[in-house]
Structure 1
Amino acid sequence: MIEFANRLESVEEYYFSRKLREVNFLKANGKPIINLGIGSPDLQPPQKVISALVEGLNDEQAHKYQSYQGLPELREAIVAFYRDMFDVYMSPSTEVLPLMGSKEGIMHISMAFLNEGDGVLIPNPGYPTYTSVTKLVGAKPIFYELDASNNWLPDLDALEEQDLSNVKLMWISYPHMPTGAKASEAFFTRLVAFAKRHQILLVNDNPYSFILNDSPKSLFSISGAKEVCLELNSLSKTFNMAGWRVGMVLGKSEFINAILKVKSNMDSGMFYGIQKGAIEALKCTKLWYVSLNNVYEQRREIVWKIAEALNCTYDKYSSGMFVWAKLPAYVKSEEFIDVLLKDKNIFVAPGTIFGSKGEGYIRFSLCATTDDLEEALARI
């Protein structure tokens, strides 16, 4: 009998991979399911992005192996994007690495920096992949709790009281997923100082900066952040390119080179046409962001009504493509979403999949048409 690797004992199949099988089974059996659970943009990318992909197919270089570091033009477009949108200046040759989605970057960073037994500070609630990847590489998750009373920000004073001698890496994500909370520049400054004091690699996962957010920020806007920080970003949400799998990691050259050692042994470069499309996306004018957010604003207004109809409360000042809603007292998240799925054929995400501090919350995605959202409201 062939046995599985021991590391699989520490992780489970990704929640949405498992739950969407159930949802798709119900749909296949005629149930009119409205999916408000997952943040997969339903809008189209900019037309010029699609055109660049199509044109790239006919380039004589298109079907060859590509550079492990991406096209020079793509790296230049990424740093220009950071310069124009965040007022952050990076080197295109040494301080940026294109990725096949930022989720890939979570694994690459973990493999490049973590040894077995190293401690990793992980937000609770937070993106589940931080925990699963930490376990897969044999490191130790150390959860720091977030709650609404502190605007879903880490309590750095409480962390200072812990033994951090074994902590190697800390994950943050602001604007925060799943809550949509934002961090100020002053708080980023405190985080960078905290990371320096304890020699912790601080990684900001930053794919939601431009969705319903009037003050996008990069961790690298903080003086001295390059010494101890990395930042992940993605084209998935900002440009409706989730299936294209285009992301990036930025940081000082020593950090990027370490990640490249891992990445170059795991893939053979991003498809040429996708890179050409990504370049065009990164050149979009501010009109693109205004148009995108107009759609999400309309959708969010309806989702707020849905939340109210379910006797939930929410923060009108959060950002991102989700609405994080607090259930009435004593209502369990997973029980609630199962009843909603069974009785109303509406799927939303339970807060518990993001950690124990997500109990009592549900998360609505804005990745559904206004017609579907109005229908969901009518059913409720």
Structure 2
Amino acid sequence: MITADRLHSVQEYYFSKKLREVRGLINQGKPIINMGIGSPDLPPSKEAVSTLQNVLEDNKAHQYQSYQGLPELREAMANFYASRFKVHVDANTELLPLMGSKEGIMHISLAFLNVGDAVLIPNPGYPTYSSVTNLIGAKPIMYDLTAENGWLPNIKALEKTDLSKVKLMWISYPNMPTGAKIDRAKMEELVAFAEAKDLLIVNDNPYSFVLNDNPTSILQIEGAKKVALELNSLSKTFNMAGWRVGMVLGSSEHITAVLKVKSNMDSGMFYGIQKGAITALESGGDWFEKLDEVYRKRRKLMFLLVDKLDATYDKDAAGMFIWAKLPEGSKSSEAFIDELLYSKDIFIAPGTIFGSNGEGYIRFSLCVEEEKIKEAIERFK
């Protein structure tokens, strides 16, 4: 059977392919330390897990669920945004729970893009933005993020670009993969840009509560709901990556459009997961402080490891990664990480998987136990 033409526009995800190689080395007995993946290794709260366990005997737990999620889940998500971001949304019309925010990237693209439309995609940025755009039959237009500009969009440069077919613009702040933060002035500039160019901005925002004392949301800007959607997730904030719980927020018109797609693609999130998510969302400030305490200790150690490579980095970046610039004269990013993998049994991510502007950079995940980071440092002595 001949596969669909759209499959020619995408490749297997880098980590899917590379991790097979890493697993092969592990099977050969190599003591690989994996610092490449941002999959939280810490557990969810005991309360969230207990909630999930306790509802399994409920008759409702095993039925089909609403495409829009439980009303109490939507309320918990809306309350979370109100308390943590000072953003107020109608839980019934301006918010939609998702099976992870990655699902939302596809749903939003299907809801707003036609074949031949164009999409502004950050370089470097999350590879899924490009792959989904290609699968839809739209055209990716990469826009540059650079260290010189703080890894923020250069609006003046964008205004000189042919935007006649652009309908969507993807941003992600705190930024993935660089950890760069965004301030209110830049968000206001982006909202004004979207209004002037009649396009929809989508902020992918799963890293706001990891090593970040000033969480931001594009929806904090007056009038943003008219031109913006925001994706968020419980994966990083509450160590629930495998639970697949996310959300999209915005105007009722935009949410209705996404719901039309979603309701034709799944049959609702498992009841127990929704109940556990509600408990997690109601966590107090202690949860975030304890989470950051762990990541701060790990980051301090990871800085020592990065120093061993003579790479440079921003000590004030947010999120669960360290984005580091290789020293002058280094090999390419991919050659560098391969040498590290085979000479030191340490796997890190090359910056190039996030775009051409990632050349010369490498990324370390903080989802690694302190003892493993110490072991990695010892391998350079």
Fold match by TM threshold 0.5:
yes
Partners in 2 of 1:163 and 1:313 — Cα distance?
Answer: 35
1:145 alignment counterpart: 144
Q: Determine helix, strand or coil for the equivalent of 2:67.
A: coil
Superposed, 1:117-132 pairs within 5 Å as 117-132=116-131
2:27 alignment counterpart: 28
Partners in 2 of 1:181 and 1:154 — Cα distance?
Answer: 11
Q: Determine helix, strand or coil for the equivalent of 1:61.
A: helix
Q: What amino acid sits opposite 2:64 in the alignment? A: Y
1:185 alignment counterpart: 184
CA contact (8 A) 1:112 1:262 kept: yes
Is residue 375 of structure 1 aligned with residue 375 of structure 2? yes
Q: What amino acid sits opposite 2:341 in the alignment? A: L
Partners in 1 of 2:137 and 2:83 — Cα distance?
Answer: 39
Q: Determine helix, strand or coil for the equivalent of 2:324.
A: strand
- Shift in Å, 1:58: 1.1
Q: Determine helix, strand or coil for the equivalent of 2:65.
A: coil
Partners in 1 of 2:161 and 2:236 — Cα distance?
Answer: 36
Partners in 1 of 2:54 and 2:13 — Cα distance?
Answer: 36
Partners in 1 of 2:162 and 2:124 — Cα distance?
Answer: 21
* CA offsets 1:73-124 (integer angstroms, 9 cap, x no match): 0000000000000000000000000000000000000000000011100000
1:259 alignment counterpart: 258
Partners in 1 of 2:357 and 2:189 — Cα distance?
Answer: 23
CA contact (8 A) 1:32 1:345 kept: yes
Q: What amino acid sits opposite 1:90 in the alignment? A: V
CA contact (8 A) 1:169 1:201 kept: yes
Higher mean C-alpha displacement, 323-332 vs 205-214: 323-332
Partners in 2 of 1:26 and 1:280 — Cα distance?
Answer: 40
Q: Determine helix, strand or coil for the equivalent of 2:162.
A: coil
Partners in 1 of 2:77 and 2:169 — Cα distance?
Answer: 24
1:365 alignment counterpart: 365
2:50 alignment counterpart: 51
Partners in 2 of 1:168 and 1:44 — Cα distance?
Answer: 39
Partners in 2 of 1:28 and 1:279 — Cα distance?
Answer: 40
Q: What amino acid sits opposite 1:352 in the alignment? A: T
- Shift in Å, 1:339: 0.4
Superposed, 1:1-380 pairs within 5 Å as 2-331=1-330, 332-380=332-380
- Shift in Å, 1:295: 0.3
* CA offsets 1:187-224 (integer angstroms, 9 cap, x no match): 00000000000011000000000000000011110000
Q: Determine helix, strand or coil for the equivalent of 2:60.
A: coil
Partners in 2 of 1:134 and 1:254 — Cα distance?
Answer: 22
Higher mean C-alpha displacement, 324-333 vs 169-178: 324-333
Partners in 2 of 1:162 and 1:345 — Cα distance?
Answer: 44
Give the fraction of aligned pairs with identical amino acids, expressed as a percent: 65
Q: Determine helix, strand or coil for the equivalent of 1:98.
A: strand
- Shift in Å, 1:328: 1.1
CA contact (8 A) 1:229 1:251 kept: yes
Q: Determine helix, strand or coil for the equivalent of 1:248.
A: strand
Q: What amino acid sits opposite 1:50 in the alignment? A: V
- Shift in Å, 1:55: 1.0
CA contact (8 A) 1:330 1:360 kept: no
Q: What amino acid sits opposite 2:223 in the alignment? A: G
Q: What amino acid sits opposite 2:328 in the alignment? A: A
Q: Determine helix, strand or coil for the equivalent of 2:275.
A: helix
Partners in 1 of 2:70 and 2:264 — Cα distance?
Answer: 18
- Shift in Å, 1:165: 1.2
CA contact (8 A) 1:174 1:181 kept: yes
Partners in 2 of 1:213 and 1:43 — Cα distance?
Answer: 18
Partners in 2 of 1:232 and 1:326 — Cα distance?
Answer: 28
- Shift in Å, 1:330: 3.3
Q: Determine helix, strand or coil for the equivalent of 2:59.
A: coil
Q: Determine helix, strand or coil for the equivalent of 2:248.
A: strand
Q: TM-score, normalised by structure 1?
A: 0.99
* CA offsets 1:148-168 (integer angstroms, 9 cap, x no match): 001000110011111211100
Q: Determine helix, strand or coil for the equivalent of 1:278.
A: helix
- Shift in Å, 1:48: 0.3
* CA offsets 1:214-266 (integer angstroms, 9 cap, x no match): 00011110000000100000000000000000000001111111111111111
Q: Determine helix, strand or coil for the equivalent of 1:111.
A: helix
Count of aligned pairs between the two proteins: 379
Q: CA RMSD in A?
A: 0.5
